[in-house]
């Protein structure tokens, strides 16, 4: 029986790159994204390669989370929590940040991730599977303007740490994939040189050891994974 993976934020960027990589291994995919047209376009390129279920919606919506859980059919080998909200652009200082927008960033990047973990955890346990939370170096470094996003990712990192202790029979990872050439990065830093940014497909390839659940639970930077694997 083929494995099943659920990937949030899968219509573009890293989420799509991970889906594309897993499709090459015949993994059954359950994909989520907020924009139906973008998700439909992404799914079209995957359907010929593997069984793919695409459900558009917002992971902050309990009804949408229930739909995603039902689509896994009770067994989930891999959950990739990639969907994220950046918040205000241009990025604000903490002194001027809108607290209502901050609550929205936390709801998407942290609260909804935990809510999805809660509803899907029995399915991951049944498969002795893997949960991957996509993090950021902004979770551990104080970059001006990145306070809201970074705080939400730092909180998600802590969820991963605690969940790994509470669920030793599964793998739980938080991973910083590196600075990538994505729409979110362009919105956050429009002056960045694309030549300095990773292609999402390259970042996804670096995550292979985590997607396969080969390493101990923990927090990783994708740039270090080749060193970890070879050591």
Q: What CATH number is attached to the domain comprising 42?
A: 3.40.50.720
Assess whether 149 carries a catalytic annotation: yes
One-character DSSP codes across 144-173: TT-HHHHHHHHHHHHHHHHHHHH-TTSEEE
Query: Which of the residues 16, 149, 173, 220 is marked catalytic?
Result: 149
pLDDT per position as a tens digit, 31-83: 999 999 999 999 998 999 999 999 999 999 999 999 999 999 999 999 999 99
Segment 79-106 mean pLDDT:
97
Report how far residue 185's alpha carbon sits from residue 142's, in angstroms, rounded to the nearest whole number. 17
Query: How many domains does the chain divide into?
Result: 1
pLDDT score for 176: 97
Mean pLDDT, rounded, of the chain: 94
- pTM comes to 0.95
Q: Give me the domain span that covers residue 20.
A: 4-230
pLDDT score for 226: 62
Report how far residue 69's alpha carbon sits from residue 56's, in angstroms, rounded to the nearest whole number. 13
Is the pLDDT reported for residue 230 higher than 80?
no
């Amino acid at each position: 029986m083929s494995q099943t993976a659920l990937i949030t934020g899968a219509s573009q960027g890293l989420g799509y790159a991970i889906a594309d990589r897993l499709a090459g291994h015949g993994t059954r995919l359950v994909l989520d994204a907020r924009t139906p047209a973008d998700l439909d376009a992404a799914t079209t390129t995957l359907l010929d390669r593997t069984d793919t279920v695409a459900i558009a919606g917002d992971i902050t919506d309990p009804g949408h989370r229930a739909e995603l859980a039902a689509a896994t059919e009770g067994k989930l080998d891999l959950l990739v929590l990639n969907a994220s909200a950046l918040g205000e652009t241009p990025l604000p200082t903490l002194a001027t940040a809108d607290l209502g927008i901050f609550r929205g960033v936390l709801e998407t990047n942290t609260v909804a991730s935990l809510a999805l973990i809660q509803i899907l955890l029995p399915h991951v346990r049944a498969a002795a599977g893997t949960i991957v939370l996509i993090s950021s170096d902004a979770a551990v470094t104080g970059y001006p303007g990145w306070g809201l996003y970074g705080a939400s990712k730092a909180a998600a990192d802590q969820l991963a740490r605690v969940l790994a202790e509470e669920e030793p029979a599964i793998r739980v990872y938080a991973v910083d994939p590196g600075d990538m050439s994505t729409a979110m990065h362009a919105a956050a830093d429009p002056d960045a040189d694309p030549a300095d940014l990773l292609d999402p497909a390259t970042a996804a390839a670096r995550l292979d050891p985590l997607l396969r659940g080969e390493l101990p639970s923990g927090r990783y930077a994708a740039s270090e994974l080749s060193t970890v694997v070879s050591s």
